[in-house]
Amino acid sequence: MYEIWLMLNIVWELALGIWPWLLALAIVWLLLMARAWGRGAAAWRASLPGAIGLGLAVAIVIFFVTPSWIGSSLTELKYWVDWANLLGIAAGWGAAGLAFAWPLLTGLRRRARPF
């Protein structure tokens, strides 16, 4: 349990160091949401599968790339907390990819009009 608490504290401290970037990303996300909602009759449901696919693709790429970014490799992950951290990082990036892709794809898609 201590390892999980330590990991959460590390994530919090890292977020404090980059809070202006996180604020900018939140503003961009809100603008994407406003654009998608402002289109009227937005096709949220039709855009979801594509957004999930993009989110999964981001998560998979991040899962395999993160160890090399930090000068490590998958073979050096020996402890369950290491794997939990890597999965958490990949899931977080995948969720962010989904969160940005869904309103973006919804804003770009036009809902088919019934005849």
SS3 per-residue string spanning the chain: CHHHHHHHHHHHHHHHHCHHHHHHHHHHHHHHHHHHHHCCCCCHHHHHHHHHHHHHHHHHHHHHHHHHHCCCCHHHCCCHHHHHHHHHHHHHHHHHHHHHHHHHHHHHCCCCCCC
68/62 Cα distance (integer angstroms):
10
Mean pLDDT by 10 residues, the chain (115 residues): 80 87 94 83 85 97 91 86 88 95 85 53
Task: Please report the pLDDT score of residue 114 as a whole number.
Answer: 53
97/28 Cα distance (integer angstroms):
13
Task: Please report the pLDDT score of residue 110 as a whole number.
Answer: 63
Q: Write the pLDDT tens digit of every residue in 27-50.
A: 999 999 988 887 776 788 889 999
Give this prediction's pTM: 0.77
